[in-house]
Chain A
């Protein structure tokens, strides 16, 4: 009896944490000033949010339904590996197509290197 209650608390905690992190990611995408900071919010906290929800689902089926589902573990590993790479590639494409930084940004090392190499823009 108590084991079921503890399992329900664990499941609920992970699902609520994931939903809250996804909400934070959505607020970040709406409120942050330029593409790079928005991508920072979207790729980091949305990834952790999805992983938390998947962990909650895994614990629900494992502890309450008694069914260990390895596909969810594989999904967690897959999202954890690929989502940051997707964010990296999107931002590199944005930088190469000269999407401007926020005007209060203070550091752009790649820009300095490109000037030194004599590449314009």
Chain B
């Protein structure tokens, strides 16, 4: 646009500021809901990355990198490392690779909660999905 009238994205940017948090909260909900209801690391990660894609649509790449200074390749690597370590951790208890367990813990504010080690594996999946998706999108977006 080489005209004097600049495009003004105020409506898109204002609604993005509100909707971004709704999407991120819903993705975290999906991540923790995965054990008993539909959801899990993959859908949660995709939804978090879609929230960041919405930020990329409303603002430019530089602003988003300034808000979230994350190296997404490192994020994917950290996710893979977490997933492998949860598998290796089962060796310390003399059980086969990737054996998972759960236990009931009394947490403050939440009461009796069932905590499963499968959540740690899911956290790895979550980080890998966010890392890979945003690496792809940023690489394509920056190519001139």
- Measured CB to CB, the residues of A under 8 A from B are 71, 74, 77-78, 81-82, 85, 88-89, 96, 113-114, 117-119
Contacts and interface: CB of A to CB of B under 8 A. Distances in A.
A81 B54 CA distance: 14
Contacts of B12: 85, 89
Interface in B1-56: 3-5, 7, 11-12, 15, 18-19, 22, 26
Contacts of A77: 22
Contact of A113 (B5, B7, B19, B26): B5
Interface of B: 3-5, 7, 11-12, 15, 18-19, 22, 26
Contact of A78 (B4, B11, B22): B22
A81 B18 contact: yes
Given A81-B15, A81-B18, A89-B12, 15 more contacts: A71-B26, A74-B22, A74-B26, A78-B22, A81-B19, A82-B15, A82-B19, A85-B11, A85-B12, A88-B11, A113-B5, A114-B5, A117-B3, A117-B4, A117-B5
8 contacts: A74-B22, A77-B22, A81-B15, A81-B19, A82-B15, A82-B19, A88-B11, A114-B3
Contacts of B19: 78, 81-82
Contacts, number: 28
A119 B3 contact: yes
Contact of A119 (B4, B18, B22): B4
A118 B4 CA distance: 8
Nearest to A110: B5
A120 to B, nearest CB: 9
Nearest to A78: B22
Contacts of A88: 11
Contacts of B22: 74, 77-78
